[in-house]
Chain A
Amino acid sequence: MPIAPNLDQTRAVVRLILGNSPDLIYRELALGKEGRRAFLLFTDHLVKKEQVMGLIDSLTIKLRKEKYPSDTAALTDFLLQRAVIASEVNTSRTLGDVTSAVLSGDTVMLVDGLDVGIRLSTRGWEHRPPEQPLSEPVVRGPKVGFTETLAVNLALMRRRIQSESLRIETMVMGERSHTTVALLYIAGLTLPSLVDETRRRLQRIRVEAVYESGVIEELIADNPFTVFPLIKQTERPDVVESQLLQGKVAVLTDGTPHALTMPATFAGEMQAAEDYYQHWTAGSLMRMLRYTFLLVALLGPSAYVAITTFHQEMLPTQLLLSLMASREGLPFPAVVEALIMETSLEVLREAGVRLPKPVGQAISIVGGLIIGESAVRAGLVSPVMVIVVALTAISSFVIPIFAAGLSIRILRFPMMLLAGTLGFYGIVLGLLIISVHLASLRSFGVPYMSPTMPPTAQDMQDLMIRAPWWYMRKRPQFMPVLDRFRVGKNSRPQPDKEG
């Protein structure tokens, strides 16, 4: 709907559209010597109050004796260039533009006789400062994470990549929420086809509201039925930076600190930011430990169930005897025992996360120590099972990305059932199903199991081990990019020949 030159009429229509919400402020003004009627429209607590006050001061005090042009075009130019103070000023031609600008934190000035609104960028609201992300802490590395404010997050990215090739495109999503979403990539590095594909998938989204980036993730992922995260999510700007510099694209969503980067790979989910900040030997050790304990997290209880139920002959006699002695008199078969213990652990974990922090810790202590101890004393579970479950729980925390850990936790249950019914044969069948499933997954055209399935020899330098930086001259081969090199020639440190 166009803006009517009659101010009273425009005001009435705006009120009709926006309602009489108490947070919408209509500030009446009289401009210049002639006292031309105008009003400012903005949303309380979404604007920088000082900026709006400065604007009112300029219009009503500093320019009160100024003669405003009578011609509409000249008046618009005068207002845009001289009268209003803001870092960004432009015009709105429809009432739709006016309302969306006001609701996003901008201020709009409507003037009697003008069929355009003067839109001023005055966005500013309370937000928490960037802090160390709770879900991805590091010992060595930047202690800063994204916040819920997109502008802050974009500024964090600009600070990390001060290159003119960093491109940021924004779009608005959610029919009612009008959430701003930013698409980031590096021009000249990221494949244009990947950017186009991501943009196309984002533009295809039709939802009422984007509550969190998880909504976008579910709506643009390649396979909606897999338990594995096909899009990497992170709260760390340094991780987004590294992903962008691998030729990937990132999506930041207003209202959440969780950024999305794509394409994702399973190996990528096993990489922690700190692997690249510590010395490569330490990083490699951590990697190897992580992969080893990934197997424990997935197969710990199932292996225990398979061995105690079907393959006792695998164990040395002494170990077997003590194991059987600890299971003596237990009312449940090993598989039921494992299922009960694992379910209890998941309940405790969920309760610990949902409850306030001090209560959550108490729940963990009560659940983990007291109930576990009591269950063993009561003869409901064996002490070995408690050890296995505890080790499995610790192992699942080794996986750096929460979503990847979640998928392993989900798969642990069917694996236990398979082990309880078919022993190691069942475990092999389960692993084969998981392998085939993983091998069939793709994330934005890239095989999810890259660089192992299909194998690329060069990329093994950043898989189980993390090779030294001077050795990793090329970007990952599985990721098609426009610029292959990331480390210069002769980067290997060595003393001068004279020295």
Chain B
Amino acid sequence: MAVFTGAFLGLVPTLTSVYVAVRHPGQGPAQIAQIVLGKWLGRLVGAVYAAFALWIYSLVLRDLYDFMTSVLMTRTPGVVLVASMAAVVLYGIWGGLEPLARVAFQVVTAVGTGVVLLMLLSSREYNILQREPFLFQGLGAVLESTWETATWFSEGVIAMWLVAHVKQPRQAFRWTLIAYLCAALTLAGITLTISLVLGPNLPSRLLYPTFSLSEIISLGAAVERLEVLLVIVWTSGIFIMLGVYLLATSTAAAHTLGLKSHRVTAVVLTLAGVWIVGLWPSSLDVAEFSGAPLRLLVHGGTLVFIPLVLLVGTLVHGALQRRRSASA
């Protein structure tokens, strides 16, 4: 339930961003900000968005680092794993969004299939009584969890970057809602499955509950521990996420600096991301775990406040333009 309430809350900034992007076809957020807020204020917004996207990029990269070094490739230096993935991601966005988007469709299909298979193959272990403790927590627990999911869903503002590449921006609303629904259903489904199998307490103590869920699956006596296959699918999903955020940060940085191509900034920001994750990991710990005020400031500012400012700016800008054209 918390997933759906969080998704509903996150829908507001996301649809705001989509509306702003649709009103400025072919423009990224940094360019939109420069149009509606003026050159310097717009550049400041662009810089904030570039920093925010870089931060998310680094966090995802850090997730990969932690997971790989603690679970799958324990003897391989983490920085090698992260640097190799960053290089592949850089190659992925070198030609722009199109190749990444095409691969994303396949990856999303694979992730969806993986989730469904995970739910089906673990169904033998379902125990409906595991859900009972959740019911005693009441609506308070739902609202408490809503914050986490709402911030995750609010990252849908990334749509502002994506809509710029869409040939028919008017369809952006429909596809955003479809993607939203799919993401909410997937997250709700996997959360329900974990709670049905692992109960209420164990998942909160596990670092990677989905991975732990996959560990209990065994297909006859032929193949055991299918989690490696799950990791393959998960890694592909991480690649797409990293690609989108690297494209976002590099295009925002390029537009802020007045560069035509995102390639130079992409190389610099890739190196920055690897450096942050591999060589200065404590910086992310500070940013991620320094408490609610900072997170509220970062998330509220970039995911809610700026899209709303851009929305107001777009409406005012549009009204002014209409008045000018009417008087002319």
Which residues of A are interface residues toward B (Cβ below 8 A)?
A: 310-311, 313-316, 422-429, 431-433, 435-437, 439-440, 447, 449, 452-455
Contacts and interface: CB of A to CB of B under 8 A. Distances in A.
19 contacts: A314-B224, A314-B226, A424-B72, A424-B228, A425-B68, A425-B73, A428-B235, A429-B84, A429-B88, A431-B236, A435-B106, A436-B99, A436-B103, A439-B98, A439-B102, A440-B95, A440-B98, A452-B106, A453-B102
Contact of A447 (B81, B102, B239): B102
Chain B contact patch, size range: 20 to 34
A452 to B, nearest CB: 7
A437 B92 CA distance: 8
Interface string B71-113: 0110010001100110010011001001110110110000000
B221 interface: yes
A324 to B, nearest CB: 16
A111 to B, nearest CB: 63
Contacts of A437: 99
Given A428-B236, A432-B92, A311 B76 contact: no
Q: Is the interface of A mostly helix, strand, loop or mixed?
A: helix
Given A425-B235, A429-B85, A311 B228 contact: yes
B224 A454 contact: no
Contacts of A311: 228
B73 A310 contact: yes
B224 A315 contact: yes
Nearest to A441: B99
B100 A436 contact: yes
A436 B91 contact: yes
Q: Is the interface of B mostly helix, strand, loop or mixed?
A: helix
Contact of B88 (A423, A433, A447, A455): A433
A447 to B, nearest CB: 7
A316 B224 contact: yes
A230 B88 CA distance: 23
B66 to A, nearest CB: 14
Given A316-B223, A433-B88, A453-B102, 6 more contacts: A316-B222, A424-B231, A428-B232, A429-B84, A439-B102, A439-B103
Nearest to B223: A314
A428 B235 CA distance: 7
Contacts of A431: 236
Contacts of A454: 102, 105
B99 A440 contact: yes
Contacts of A426: 84
B170 interface: no
B175 to A, nearest CB: 13
Contact of A453 (B72, B106, B225): B106
Contacts of B68: 425
B224 A422 contact: no
Contact of B105 (A427, A428, A433, A455): A455
Contacts of B91: 433, 436
Contact of A432 (B223, B224, B225, B239): B239
Given A314-B224, A316-B224, A425 B106 contact: no
Given A432-B239, A440-B95, A425 B72 contact: yes
